[in-house]
C-alpha cells in the first residue's frame, strides 16, 4: 500500500458515504485483497445504501474473491457502538451531508484502576476488596470504615480517541457527540470566502470545523478534504487557528501519534 501498511492487518473498513471520492478506491482494494489470496473475512461498515453498490461489484467481480465480505449497514439516528473489542470500540454517528453519511469515533475503553502495591499489605486487602478498588469504587468495611479508591488506586492511563468527520455541514449535536476526543479529523472543504458554497453543498469551512473542535473540547484538530479552489492549505489552517489554536492542515502521508489522553503529535 502507498502508506506501507500491510494488507494482512486490514480487518475492517469504515465507509462514510457513497460519493465517488470516498468510494471509488474501494473496489480496486477488494480486488487486490482477492488476488493476494486473503482468506479471512472483511467487515465493511457503511450506510445502508451501500448495499446495492456492493451487490453490483460482487455480481461482476466477486468470483475472484477468496474471502467473505461482511457488510454491516449503518442506520442509527445518533451515536451507536458498531464494534467492541477487549480494549477499544468504534462508534458511528450520522452527519449532515444531504445523503446518508456517517462519521466514526475510535476510542480506547476506560481501563481498570491499578491498586497501589503498598496499600495491599498496609490494609490487608482481600481479593474482593481489590476487585472493588479496580472498578474505581470505595471499599466499605464494617463499622463504616471507608477505604477510598481515590487514595488507594489510580488509573494507569487516560484513554485516547480519534474521530473521523467527513463530509458534513455543521449541526448542533456534533460537538457533544465528540466530547473530549484526543484527535479530531474534520473536513474543511472551504475558507470563509466560500461559505455560501459550503452551505449549498453540505460541507464545512475551516472556522466551522474549528468551532466543532472547540465545542468538543478536542485535543488537536486536523483539517482536510480541501476544495480544488484552495490552492494553499495554510489558509485553511490560519482561519481555523483564529478559533481553535491547535489546528493543523493535514497532508497525504502525514502520521500522528495519539495519546495518552488528549495528547497528539505529528511524527
Catalytic center residues:
21
Kindly tell me the sign of the dihedral angle through the C-alpha atoms of 207, 211, 214, 218. negative
Assign 3-state DSSP to the chain and report helix, strand, coil percentages, each to 5.
30, 25, 40
Whether 167 contacts 157, CB under 8 Å: no
Distance CA 199, CA 192 (A): 11
Nearby residues of 185 by Cβ (< 8 Å), 6 or more positions away:
162, 163, 164, 165, 166, 222, 223, 224, 250
CB atoms within 10 A of CB 253: 8
Nearby residues of 50 by Cβ (< 8 Å), 6 or more positions away:
15, 18, 44, 71, 73
Kindly tell me the sign of the dihedral angle through the C-alpha atoms of 115, 116, 119, 121. positive
Amino acid at each position: 500500500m502507498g502508506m506501507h501498511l500491510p494488507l494482512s492487518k486490514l480487518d475492517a473498513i469504515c465507509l462514510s458515504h457513497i460519493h465517488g471520492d470516498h468510494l471509488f478506491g474501494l473496489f480496486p482494494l477488494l480486488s487486490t485483497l482477492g488476488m493476494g489470496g486473503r482468506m479471512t473475512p472483511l467487515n465493511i461498515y457503511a450506510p445502508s445504501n451501500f448495499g446495492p453498490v456492493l451487490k453490483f461489484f460482487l455480481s461482476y467481480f466477486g468470483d475472484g474473491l477468496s474471502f467473505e465480505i461482511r457488510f454491516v449497514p449503518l442506520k442509527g439516528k445518533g451515536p451507536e457502538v458498531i464494534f467492541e473489542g477487549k480494549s477499544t470500540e468504534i462508534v458511528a454517528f450520522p452527519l449532515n451531508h444531504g445523503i446518508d453519511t456517517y462519521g466514526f469515533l475510535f476510542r480506547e475503553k476506560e481501563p481498570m484502576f491499578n491498586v497501589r502495591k503498598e496499600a495491599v499489605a498496609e490494609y490487608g486487602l482481600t481479593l474482593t476488596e481489590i476487585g472493588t478498588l479496580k472498578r474505581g469504587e470505595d471499599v466499605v468495611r464494617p463499622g463504616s470504615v471507608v477505604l477510598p479508591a481515590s487514595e488507594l488506586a489510580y488509573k494507569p492511563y487516560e484513554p485516547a480517541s480519534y474521530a473521523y468527520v467527513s463530509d458534513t455541514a455543521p449541526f448542533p449535536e456534533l460537538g457533544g457527540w465528540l466530547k473530549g476526543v484526543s484527535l479530531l479529523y474534520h473536513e474543511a472543504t472551504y475558507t470563509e470566502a466560500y461559505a455560501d458554497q459550503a452551505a449549498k453543498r453540505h460541507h464545512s469551512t475551516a472556522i466551522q470545523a474549528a468551532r466543532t473542535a472547540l465545542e468538543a473540547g478536542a485535543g488537536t484538530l486536523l483539517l482536510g478534504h480541501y476544495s480544488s479552489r484552495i490552492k494553499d492549505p495554510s489558509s485553511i489552517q490560519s482561519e481555523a487557528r483564529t478559533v481553535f489554536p491547535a489546528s493543523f492542515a493535514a497532508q497525504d502521508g502525514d502520521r500522528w501519534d495519539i495519546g495518552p489522553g488528549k495528547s497528539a503529535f505529528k511524527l
